[in-house]
Structure 1
Amino acid sequence: MTATDNDSNNDLSSTPAQEHRWSGRLILWAVVLTLANVLADLAIGSPMMVLPQLLEHFDTDQAAWLGASAMLAGAIWSPLLARSADLFGLRRILIGTLLLACAGALICFTAPNVWVFLAGRFLQGAAFASIFITVALARRICAPRVAMALIGLVTSGSSVVGVVEPFVMEPVIDRFGFRSVFLLAALLAVVAAVCVRAVVPEAPVRATGRVDVGGALLLGGGLAAVLAYVSLGSELGLLSGAALALLTAGAAGLVGWVYFARRVRDPIIDLRALSRPILLTLLALVLAAGSFRSMLQLTSIIAQVPADLGLGYGLGDGEAVAVLLATPNLGIVVGGTLAGWVAGRYGPALPLLIGIALGAVATFGMLAGVSSLPVALGCGALVGMAAGAIGASGYNLATGTEAPERQGTTAGLVSVVLAVGSVLFSFTGAEILKATRLPGRSESAVEGVYGYVGMAAALFALAAIPATALLLRHGRRRGQSSRGAARLGEQVTRERWR
């Protein structure tokens, strides 16, 4: 029995697969699902392209709130939408998510003040759910081997937008104004919703039960408050009253969710059902996501530091930023696509570990890349490939061990963990740079930059531990299946000779 056969047999899905091989219809599904995920990238990143104009228009200095609001809203939406998708249909909830994001973008487009704008961003944050819903859809409408490759495409293909977005959006903004990014996001959401409705089939298996709205609000609100403290703490002051109130509220929400999740009949996430492989996967993802996101943040920072300052690092005056940010996006597409293909043949644990190892090598290479543009570009491409492989493999690992009626919820949990790791360790890296800032300067000492790189490398090394355990577990299961198949073959042979 091959590794592929093992993966298929070990998948807990009892859903009758509609697609066992690649076809024109499946390629069309992949394009439409990727389009839905493009909206998530645009919804999260759209204010960053026009942040100075937004600050001036709304007469505010709260840049962090304007930038992070959609991701924080996504943390609130995710548990509720993930469970709803399992209960009421993945395609139906995906369409609803896209329409919510459309409404939010239109509110942002017409917002007369910053509070209305933030309300629009709250609705726009629902687009965050499109990623894990498309993953669960891929699992249910395709055979396991095909689904893994499709997940690699839909989770990484949207990064192509990151390559062309700055070059396409800049003339649009110049021609139609900074608010045009929100109008474009609204139009894209409508197009994606129509395409999903017309092209993608509904998943045939649904869960039974109810939506634990209280649990969803406790979990989502608690996560959002903690992430707000982490991402906005440096601006508010880590020990300020507002920051401590966010942290306290977040901790209380999460504690309350854990308490009730163990007592209600149908919790939003059944903690008792989280198996060891899923927990190992989530641990590897939170560490690895924190590492590659923090490295992307560092790259954008050092790209704007002139090399002639003599600090020991620096890649220019900002002219290299577009290229340095486009390169990892290309790497994400390549890494995610290859990881899906490899997972379909050898299981997702192998590409996860390869992605983590690749990220570690690229991170160590940035010790030289902080002062050399060619090295930085090469390392950025490798970090992007690592990010694509880690994301696709994480979704494949977590959803592949779940029953079909829980795959949406589990995929949502993966998305939340990736966001938590990204925010937590990007903030930690920023604090390292702040602690080593040169007196009277905005730049940090080279020791701080090296410490930042060291932190990211250590995270990759730690992520390799649970990833290795997952690979070894897969090898043991493969060996057990092979021995079982051999025994069955011997028994059949004996029966024939009789």
Structure 2
Amino acid sequence: MLDSAIGAPTYVLPELARAFGTDQFAWIGSSAMFAGALWSPLLGKSADIYGKRKVLVIALLVAALGGLVCLTAPNLGVFVLGRLLQGAVVAALFLSVAIVRDICAPKFSMVVTGIVTAGSAAFGIVTPFVVAPAIEAFGWQSVFVISTSFAVVAALLVRLLVPDGGSRTPGKVDVTGALVLALGVAGVLGYISLGQVFGWLGGVSLLVLAAGVAALLFWSLVLSRRPEPIINVRGISLVFGVMLLVVVMGTGAYQSKLQLISMLLEVSPEQGLGYGLASPLALGLMFGIPSIGIVLGGIGAGVLATRIGPARCLAVGVLTGTAGTALMLFGGGPSNLAVAVPASFLLSMTAGNLMTSAFNLASILAPKARQATVSSMVMFMVAIGAVTMNFVGSAILGQTAIVVDGETVNSVTGIYAYIVTVGAVFVLAAIPAAFLVRKVRGQAVAATETTSLGHL
């Protein structure tokens, strides 16, 4: 479900841009993931209080409604609204992980977490070969027919088959805090997007930025100090905070790659722009084979976590991502499909690894009664990283665009600058990853159900 709602629309980014007359790829491609960041703290806290199954069903139904809105959207504004509703499906991932923690033994749950977080990418292996003909026959709308159908079926199956067990935590949900935090994040990220249109020092851009910063300051200085804040920042241990830093950087770098690949697949090498991967088999190879990488990376990380711990798995993921980006950069990946496919495969293994390892480490650092809340914080950082990097990448391409035959296109300089930026983020992520491995060295991370490393 998550892959159909978040990943599948990246196949039709250019078609969506043409349909709604915009060049803001970042908003089209990232609006659902951005909404996922806003939904995550609210749904995670609600799940611990009211029950994970109930909140999961509600999230899936909201995502189904969002798919219907996207399907019938008459303009970009309504379409983005639909994507914001679809973003609730992000909760399906972290709530599934929290439910796994309720029904599985600790060591076994690490492996199952890998299957849940990365196994869904198996959908991506066949998606290009199914979606491509559907898009050709019925247009971009077919993508949202698929995701809406998945959401409805998933909600029904969860309601009928998933046990409504697990401990619940007494308390209340700080809706005001969630809304203010969401507005703050939206303002800051919106500035990155609007700066390309109205100028980085334009009145509209600065107004949006100021509103976002003001909301974040109000939340940090006032609302976060409430007895039950939507995110308990002061309760985050050093290890957990470092882990979140690795996650936001590593997964953000990977997700931005999806946006870039979608653009490369629209350009043929014969156009003479210095890049382009368009070919009859390119879509299937660039999205299908890397999906195998996500599955292998996630399930492999789950299995290895029982032996070497999730912190070391997390560090391996960062190194794999760095290697994949280097291959793309120095091997001429933007114009060479034979290089782009293995590079994308390595990056996809990174994605599966980072997600699984982050959830596994988070589950060790949190008591059972707060599994949904802690898992939602991981998902919040995943979404923030993805959206931020997509906006940054879009800004790089926008600032380096050129005009060819009267049409504005991405320049080869912008494409390579995009890849260099992704690589730099992976290199920077290696620093906290190494620190994390050192801090948890010697700890029996998989030995008990509620092992706490908070003292670190």
TM-score by length of 2: 0.86
CA apart distance, 1:470: 1.8
The aligned amino acid for 2:227 is R
* CA shift digits 1:410-460 (9 cap, x unpaired): 2111112112222223333344444444565724245x5444333322222
1:416 aligns with one of 370, 380, 387: 380
1:395 matched residue in structure 2: 359
- Alignment partner of 1:444 is 2:407: no
The aligned amino acid for 2:391 is F
1:477 aligns with one of 432, 443, 447: 443
Worse overlay, 400-409 or 425-434: 425-434
Distance 2:411 2:280 in 1: 17
1:427 aligns with one of 391, 394, 402: 391
- Alignment partner of 1:123 is 2:85: yes
Distance 1:115 1:308 in 2: 35
2:421 aligns with one of 434, 451, 455: 455
Distance 1:458 1:178 in 2: 34
Worse overlay, 87-96 or 417-426: 417-426
1:404 matched residue in structure 2: 368
Worse overlay, 128-137 or 57-66: 57-66
2:171 aligns with one of 204, 209, 215: 209
The answer on whether the counterparts of 1:109 and 1:179 sit within 8 Å (CA) in structure 2 is yes
1:184 matched residue in structure 2: 146
TM-aligned CA distance change 1:338 to 1:51, over 3 Å: closer
2:181 matched residue in structure 1: 219
- SS where residue 269 of structure 1 aligns? coil
TM-aligned CA distance change 1:95 to 1:451, over 3 Å: same
1:484 matched residue in structure 2: none
- Alignment partner of 1:165 is 2:127: yes
- Alignment partner of 1:269 is 2:269: no
CA apart distance, 1:74: 2.2
* CA shift digits 1:64-116 (9 cap, x unpaired): 54444323332322211111011111111101111111222233344556555
TM-aligned CA distance change 1:408 to 1:426, over 3 Å: same
1:465 matched residue in structure 2: 431
- Alignment partner of 1:89 is 2:51: yes
TM-aligned CA distance change 1:183 to 1:362, over 3 Å: closer
Distance 1:372 1:177 in 2: 28
Distance 1:148 1:59 in 2: 45
2:201 aligns with one of 218, 221, 239: 239
List gaps (5 residues or longer) in structure 2: 448-456
2:113 aligns with one of 151, 167, 172: 151
The answer on whether the counterparts of 2:320 and 2:347 sit within 8 Å (CA) in structure 1 is yes
The answer on whether the counterparts of 1:261 and 1:271 sit within 8 Å (CA) in structure 2 is no
* CA shift digits 1:214-250 (9 cap, x unpaired): 1111112222332333345424543333333332222
TM-aligned CA distance change 1:435 to 1:414, over 3 Å: same
- SS where residue 477 of structure 1 aligns? coil
List gaps (5 residues or longer) in structure 1: 1-37, 482-498
2:450 matched residue in structure 1: none
The aligned amino acid for 2:409 is S
The answer on whether the counterparts of 1:358 and 1:382 sit within 8 Å (CA) in structure 2 is yes
Distance 2:304 2:35 in 1: 34
CA apart distance, 1:152: 1.0
Distance 1:382 1:132 in 2: 24
